[in-house]
Structure 1
Amino acid sequence: MDIDIDPDSSTAPFDQLRLQIIEQVRSGQLIAGTKIPTVRALAVEVGLAPNTVAKAYRELGEQGVIETRGKQGTFIASGGDPIRAGAEMAATRYVQDLRKLGVSDEEILGFVQSALRGAE
């Protein structure tokens, strides 16, 4: 995840984190089914205390932006549109499956573009 915390901002760090995740979901950068880092991993990545990240995650969970699936981890939740959410989750699974096979992101994009051209 691309998160940039500004220590000089008047906005609290947990709120900066929360708002940036929401914006990434709105922009489509993070889609339904995307696994996000653990609290500890993200805290290290962005230089925040784990409790700060946990607070942001709690609020995001309460807002329905993320969901925790026990030992599986924390994921971007599906939104209000079940068709869009299903499509986003299918795309996420597709990318994950191809990455497991060692296919590069560039090749994956090429496959999708070819499939779109072939479906016309």
Structure 2
Amino acid sequence: MARIAVDSASRTPPWRQVRDQILAQIDEGHLAVGTRLPPIRQLAADLGVAPGTVARAYKELEAEGVLHTARRHGTVVAAALPGRDDPLRTAAETYAATARELGVDVRTALATVQWAFDLTAGTPPKRPAR
């Protein structure tokens, strides 16, 4: 894993800086699917931040399906990100940004996508939870 740094003077919360840098490393191909990330306490110590900061970054990435954590095996990269010029990625980023602006949690956002996907496939959709 390439170096991650937290800028304490930044207006971006430290957990978000860690999250964004891990995503960038996956996006750039520095972290492949199956790559094991450092344990929370180790990365926190390396960065000079509280373990909760790294835990939140990992938790957010897990909720997005990018990381997977198993107690015995640690935290690993679970999914590759689509390429930068992928129109599906662009649509997903736009949707995610809109959902965040609306204050929608990730589970509701994903349920809404599933609903829309079923609707466009001609499958009777279940009403998304709100």
Please, what TM-score do these two structures have when normalized by structure 2? 0.59
The residue correspondences of 1:17-36 to structure 2 (distance < 5 A) are 17-36=18-37
- Distance (whole Å) between structure 2 residues aligned to residue 49 and residue 13 of structure 1: 10
Residue 67 of structure 1 pairs with residue 73 of structure 2 = no
Deviations 1:74-111 (A, max 9, x none): 10113378xxxxxxxxxxxxxxxxxxxxxxxxxxxxxx
Letter in structure 1 aligned against 2:43: L
Letter in 2 for 1:14: W
- Equivalent-residue separation in structure 1 for 2:76 and 2:15 (angstroms): 18
1:35-83 Cα offsets, whole Å, 9 max, x none, are 00011010001111001111111001001111012211110113378xx
Q: Do residues 47 (structure 1) and 42 (structure 2) align?
A: no
Tell me, in whole angstroms, the C-alpha distance in 2 between the residues paired with 1:23 and 1:11.
Answer: 16
Q: Answer 1 or 2: which has greater helix percent.
A: 1
The alignment's C-alpha RMSD in Å is: 1.4
**Following superposition, which runs of at least 4 residues in structure 1 exceed 6 angstroms of deviation?**
none
Is 2:27–2:80's contact at 8 Å kept on the other side of the alignment? Answer: no
Take 2:34 and 2:71, find their aligned partners in 1: how far apart are those partners? 14
Tell me the matched-pair count.
81
Structure 2 letter corresponding to 1:72? H
Amino acid aligned to 1:24: Q
Query: Structure 1: which 5+ residue stretches go unaligned?
Result: 82-120
Identity percentage of aligned residues: 43
Correspondence list, 1:1-120, <5 A: 1=1, 2-79=3-80
Aligned partners of 2:32 and 2:80 also within 8 Å: no
In 2, the alpha carbon distance for the partners of 1:38 and 1:11 equals 23
What CA distance in whole angstroms lies between the structure 2 residues aligned with 1:17 and 1:27?
15
Gaps of 5+ in 2: 83-130
Instruction: Give the number of the structure with larger relative contact order, counting CA–CA contacts within 8 Å between residues 6 or more apart.
Output: 1
